[in-house]
Homo-oligomer: A and B are copies of this chain.
Amino acid sequence: MATGPELMKGSSESLLLCLIGQEPMYGYQIIRELEQRSQGYFKFKEGTLYPALHRSEGAGLIMGRWQTRPGGRYRRYYYITEKGRRALAEKLSQWRQFLVAMNLIVPAGCL
């Protein structure tokens, strides 16, 4: 990403679940949506996104369905599951706790 990859670890799954939870999406679309909505900040690589989708599907958080359009290209649309919604709520809660902790340390006297 724009800041180096490390900050993404642990946040990527929340981003994916959040998007898919709003509307079923396919992988390539997610990459573009994340880039557009973040004003160019998030630039997910395919080698990051697709394995992440496979992991989430394996964990039962999302469900993929192949869809072929009349025009022709096949796409795999992902739908969030109930388990995925619960996981998202949990992840967001953890994210907010993490922010609180960071703010307790960082802004204090730190530049």
Interface residue ranges, A against B (CB under 8 Å): 1-11, 14-15, 18-19, 21-22, 34, 37-39, 41-42, 88-89, 92, 94-95, 97-102, 104-106, 108-111
Contact = CB atoms under 8 A, between A and B. Distances in A.
A55 to B, nearest CB: 12
A3 B97 contact: yes
How often does this chain occur in the complex, in copies?
A: 2
Given A88-B110, A88-B111, A111-B89, A11 B102 contact: yes
A97 B21 contact: no
A12 to B, nearest CB: 9
B42 A94 contact: no
A7 B89 CA distance: 16
Nearest to A104: B38
A111 to B, nearest CB: 6
Contacts of A97: 2-3, 41
A101 B10 contact: no
A92 B102 CA distance: 11
